[in-house]
Amino acid sequence: MDFKSLIDTEKLPAHVAVIMDGNGRWAKNQGLKRVMGHKNGVKAVRDTVEGAAEIGVKYLTLYAFSTENWKRPKYEVDALMRLLISSLRDELPTLMKNDIRLKAIGNLEILPEKGRKQLQEVMQKTEGNKHMTLVLALSYGAKDELTQATKKVAELVLEGKLMPKDIGPDTLENHLYTSGMPDVELLIRTSGEHRISNFLLWQIAYAELYFTPILWPDFRRANLFEAIYDYQHRERRFGKTSEQLKS
Ligand code: FPP
């Protein structure tokens, strides 16, 4: 089915986030090394990013590397870092052509220097792009994010700049990596796993969750369009009743 033509572009999710999972299994199924799964995952990243920009999604966040991923074998971590650097370099023209701004969230300080520099360069060069914001979650963990935001709020209290009674959801939100971005409205996870894996715990409070058995390297824009079509046929109640929404 051509889901793209069925999408209501007036009702797109403001922010789509994706847990790209299944690279290792994809490679194994082909009799290849895990790293080949990641390499082929880059093609899926490119197609998904272009597809999201094509229909007018404003924010797309991709979970590229978690705080837990540092525990993988060194050769796999090194290969992922190299892949990230080469992809950032190679994709710059595509980002410019599609008017896409790149941002990154996570504990970026612990990324290898070369990766951090490449990231900074692409973020700087795409800073003025307006059509879509692509957010890479790198060395990202939601528990880490919430912990560091809490520490910053505690410091403000200690310095007498903030009273505990004045702390609200916005206070914490202002100190998250995603400050200023809309909440996630659609979260997609590939590979048939039904987990959140420490991803954007605060920001997905009211997100619609979409799980697909497709392994990430096989994911294409048509699959994104199907997920968005599915999202548009959900009833988002935000705690209200169905009748309240209809009246
Ligand atoms: C999960 O599959 C995927 C990752 C940990 C890395 C995702 C990275 C890419 C798609 C490539 C580079 C990304 C960018 C943004 C250029 P897995 O290895 O956990 O798969 P498995 O569960 O089948 O083992």
Please indicate, yes or no, if residue 72 is contained in any of the structural domains. Answer: yes
Q: Which two tokens stand for residue 28?
A: 């194994």
Q: What is the count of structural domains for the chain?
A: 1
Please indicate, yes or no, if residue 167 is contained in any of the structural domains. Answer: no
| Cβ 115 under 6 angstroms from ligand 1 | no
Task: Give the three-state DSSP class for 131.
Answer: coil
Cα–Cα distance between 185 and 79 in angstroms, integer? 32
| Cβ 197 under 6 angstroms from ligand 1 | no
Amino acid letter, 122: V
Whether 141 and 68 have beta carbons less than 8 Å apart is answered as yes
Q: Which two tokens stand for residue 199?
A: 């991803």
pLDDT of residue 243: 87
Q: Which two tokens stand for residue 151?
A: 């520490």
pLDDT of residue 244: 86
Q: What backbone phi and psi angles, to 5 degrees, belong to 203?
A: -75, -15
Q: What is the mean pLDDT of residues 105-133?
A: 97
Please indicate, yes or no, if residue 134 is contained in any of the structural domains. Answer: yes
Interval between CA 57 and ligand 1 midpoint (Å): 22
pLDDT of residue 236: 79
| Cβ 217 under 6 angstroms from ligand 1 | no
Cα–Cα distance between 63 and 178 in angstroms, integer? 13
Please indicate, yes or no, if residue 246 is contained in any of the structural domains. Answer: no
Please indicate, yes or no, if residue 47 is contained in any of the structural domains. Answer: yes
Counting residues of the chain whose pLDDT is more than 90, the rounded percentage is: 94
Q: What is the mean pLDDT of residues 197-202?
A: 98
Interval between CA 152 and ligand 1 midpoint (Å): 31
Please indicate, yes or no, if residue 198 is contained in any of the structural domains. Answer: yes
Task: Give the three-state DSSP class for 128.
Answer: coil
Predicted TM-score (pTM) of the model is: 0.96
pLDDT bracket for residue 46 (50, 70, 90): very high
Task: Give the three-state DSSP class for 60.
Answer: strand
Q: How many helices (H) and strands (E) does the chain have?
A: 8, 6
Please indicate, yes or no, if residue 83 is contained in any of the structural domains. Answer: yes
Interval between CA 99 and ligand 1 midpoint (Å): 25
pLDDT bracket for residue 106 (50, 70, 90): very high
- pLDDT of 222 over the 90 cut: yes
DSSP 170-181: HHHHTTSTTTTS
Domain that holds residue 133: 3-140+184-234
Closest to 48 (Cα-Cα) out of 226, 207, 208: 226
Output b/e per residue, 15-33; b: 16+ Cβ within 10 A.
bbbbbbbbbbbbbeeeeee
For the domain that residue 76 is a member of, what is the CATH number?
3.40.1180.10
Please indicate, yes or no, if residue 177 is contained in any of the structural domains. Answer: no
